[in-house]
Amino acid sequence: MQNWKRTLALVSLIAFLSGALFAGGNLLVNALASSAGKVTGRPANIPAAYAQPNPGPDTVADIVSNAGPAVVKIDVSKTVNGAFDPFFNDPFFRQFFSSPFAFRQPFKREEHGLGSGFIITSDGSILTNEHVIDGAQKIEVTIAGRDKPLPARVTGSDYDLDLAVLKVDAGGDLPTLSLGDSDQVKVGSWVVAIGNPYGLDHTVTVGVVSAKGRPVQVENRSYKNLLQTDAAINPGNSGGPLLNLAGEVIGINTAVAAQAQGIGFAIPINTVKSVLAELLSKGHLSRPWLGVQVQPLDEQLTSSFGLESTEGALVAGVVSGSPADKAGFQQGDVILKIDGQQIRNPDDLVNYVKGLQIGQRIVVLVQRQGKTLNLPLEIKEKPAQQ
């Protein structure tokens, strides 16, 4: 009986202390709120433009509910040519024929791919990645609430930025997503990705922005300025939106590091906004083009070419039919100046050419086999996928 009474007393004491701590915590919070005048939901030293809405238990659910209907699934298909050898995989025939390829028969097969996108205009314009629809002969878009997929056509695309705009005729009044400001996004900000990984419609993943300004090489594409996120991004997510807690698009999900976990990348939406008007009006982006492939000089190359300095851009290749080709550029030339402007490395060259106008005439100073030459040429528009 005494043990039971001591236990009851101990429990009562613990309950009393817990209540006191809870009450004291409330008093402290109330006192802080009172002294500040009001609770703003963010520290006073953080500008309002950088602040995120206070997340609650239903924040992500609300974002998905509002944004989800504007996220679409993109199915693409194309016919490719191939060859089939009926004997090549048969061990019996392989032992008699030294060249089984003599029996190869041509055939055609249909390849399918999928990706994501999101609606940006109520009359059916959709943003996605160029690599999602690259080479597609048939594109179908599935919109939430529609009985069947709708045919889509490409109205604009850019290989370098990996952007494409599709158009569907859905009768108007489609749900759309608002484009945010990716420059205001901070590392550590919460983000939500919606897409169709592996064909699983409207899959939602949540994470943070892990880094900004990432350069990434994916096959032949060089991305200069990507957002890195740990929100899960998988095949099929490409082209889908990366959203902030206000439900605004701050990136287009684009690439995933196949050999890593929690490392995905998105094109900043401000990159898209800077070219969207031209993409919608012209269907492509006009870029000035020289037509040379360049690489930096190092001490070994400088010695090999008999140069006095490592400054300049070494011409590693000249594109046939390009302005540089017509002007007489050769592999091994070193570009030193353009219109008197010093070119110290390939980045200088790229940045300088970006600022030129199509049709503009320039004079390029190059060094070739110990001699300097002035090569005049006219800047042309860069061909698609060049």
* 3-state DSSP of 41-75: CCCCCCCHHHCCCCCCCCHHHHHHHHHHHHEEEEE
Name the region of 145 (left: φ>0; alpha: ψ -120 to 50; beta: rest): left
- Which CATH number is correct for 182-282, 2.40.10.10, 1.25.40.10, 4.10.80.40, 1.10.8.80? 2.40.10.10
How many CB atoms neighbour CB 299 within 10 A?
9
Better-predicted residue by pLDDT, 331 or 258: 331
CB 162 within 8 A of CB 70: no
107-116, 256-265, 283-292: range with highest mean pLDDT: 283-292
pLDDT above 70 as % of the chain: 78
C-alpha torsion 131→136→140→141, nearest 10: 10
At 219, the pLDDT band (50, 70, 90 cuts) reads: confident
At 59, the pLDDT band (50, 70, 90 cuts) reads: confident
What pLDDT score was predicted for residue 84?
Answer: 57
Q: What is the mean pLDDT of residues 19-36?
A: 34
CB 104 within 8 A of CB 183: no
**What's at 80, amino acid-wise?**
V
Least confident of 75-84, 150-159, 183-192, 260-269: 75-84
Q: What is the DSSP track for 221-276? A: EEEEEEEEE-S---TT-TT-EEE-TTS-EEEEEEEE-TTSSS-EEEEEHHHHHHHH
For tokens 């902030």, the residue is 244
131 is catalytic: yes
Distance CA(156)–CA(152), nearest Å, equals 12
- 67, exposed or middle or buried, with CB in 10 Å at 0-12, 13-18, 19+? buried
Average pLDDT, the chain: 81
What pLDDT score was predicted for residue 110?
Answer: 83
Q: Which of 275, 364, 370 is nearest to 322 (CA)?
A: 364
C-alpha torsion 5→9→11→14, nearest 10: -170
CA 291 vs CA 65, 105, 146, 227, 316: distances in Å: 48, 39, 46, 30, 11
Q: Per-residue pLDDT tens for 283-339?
A: 999 999 999 999 998 877 777 777 777 889 999 999 999 999 999 999 999 999 999
Better-predicted residue by pLDDT, 86 or 43: 86
At 41, the pLDDT band (50, 70, 90 cuts) reads: very low
**What's at 130, amino acid-wise?**
E
> Which residues, listed in sequence order, are joined to residue 224 by a DSSP beta bridge?
none
What pLDDT score was predicted for residue 85?
Answer: 56
> Which residues, listed in sequence order, are joined to residue 282 by a DSSP beta bridge?
none
238 is catalytic: yes
295-302 contacts: CB < 8 A, separation 24 or more?
Answer: 295/346, 296/345, 296/346, 297/334, 297/345
Can you point out the beta strands (E) in the chain? 71-84, 105-119, 125-128, 138-142, 150-158, 163-168, 190-195, 203-218, 221-229, 241-243, 249-256, 264-268, 288-289, 292-296, 313-318, 334-338, 341-342, 361-368, 371-378, 380-381
75, 116, 125, 131: the catalytic one is: 131
> Domain limits of the chain?
67-168, 182-282, 288-381
| Fold match between domain 67-168 and domain 182-282 | yes
- 69, exposed or middle or buried, with CB in 10 Å at 0-12, 13-18, 19+? middle
Q: Quote the Cα angle for 186-191-196, to 5°.
A: 145
Q: Per-residue pLDDT tens for 139-184?
A: 999 999 888 999 999 999 999 899 999 999 988 789 999 999 999 9
Contacts of 170 (CB under 8 A, 6+ apart): 124, 143, 146, 150
At 82, the pLDDT band (50, 70, 90 cuts) reads: low
At 104, the pLDDT band (50, 70, 90 cuts) reads: low
Is the predicted pLDDT of residue 340 greater than 50, yes or no?
A: yes
CATH superfamily of 67-168: Trypsin-like serine proteases (2.40.10.10)
Domain 288-381: give its CATH code.
Answer: 2.30.42.10
What pLDDT score was predicted for residue 9?
Answer: 41
Is the predicted pLDDT of residue 73 greater than 80, yes or no?
A: yes
Which pTM does this prediction carry? Answer: 0.72
CB 334 within 8 A of CB 294: no
CB 131 within 8 A of CB 221: yes
125, 162, 182, 210: the catalytic one is: 162
What pLDDT score was predicted for residue 47?
Answer: 40
75, 238, 322, 333: the catalytic one is: 238
